[in-house]
Amino acid sequence: MAKITGKYETIFIVNPTLGEEAVASVVDKFKALIEANGTIETVDDWGKRRFAYAIDDLNEGYYTLIQFESKPEFPAELDRIYKITDGIMRSLIISRD
């Protein structure tokens, strides 16, 4: 039997040089996108953290962790949108099942 929904977890890092309002806007954009395609269980804003190594000549980024439930095809679309969004430095999506 095919899975109808799955539990997922995503973390993404936003470039902090965008400014506080732009960072909040990017985070809100992804919260709304996930909410439109599933249900959000928890949102954990980790805030600005230092990197272990420089990414794009930056030493810190703004981290957000979201746990959600959606259809199995949505995480691939979410990953595609992460890759084309300005300000997203890194992202990861995992299945919690």
The total of other beta-carbon atoms located within 10 Å of residue 12's CB is 23
CA distance between the termini of the chain: 15
Counted domains in the chain: 1
Residue 73 counted as domain residue: yes
Residue 1 lies in a domain: no
Listed residue (56, 59, 54, 77) closest to 8, CA to CA: 77
- pLDDT at 97 (0 to 100): 76
Kindly report the CATH number assigned to the domain that includes residue 64: 3.30.70.60
Average pLDDT, stretch 8-15? 96
Write out pLDDT tens, residues 35-64: 999 999 999 999 999 999 999 899 999 999
Within a domain: residue 42? yes
User: So what's the pLDDT on residue 2?
Assistant: 57
CB 23 within 8 A of CB 62: yes
Given a contact cutoff of 8 angstroms between Cβ atoms, the answer to whether 82 and 15 are in contact is no
Is residue 41 assigned to a domain? yes
In a domain, 14, yes or no: yes
Range of the structural domain that residue 41 is part of: 6-95
Task: Give residue 5's pLDDT.
Answer: 87
pLDDT at position 73 is 93
pTM: 0.90
Confidence (pLDDT) at 1: 46
Specify the amino acid at residue 81. Answer: I
What is the average pLDDT score of the chain? Answer: 93
Q: Is residue 63 part of a domain?
A: yes
Give the DSSP H or E segment for 92. Answer: strand 88-95
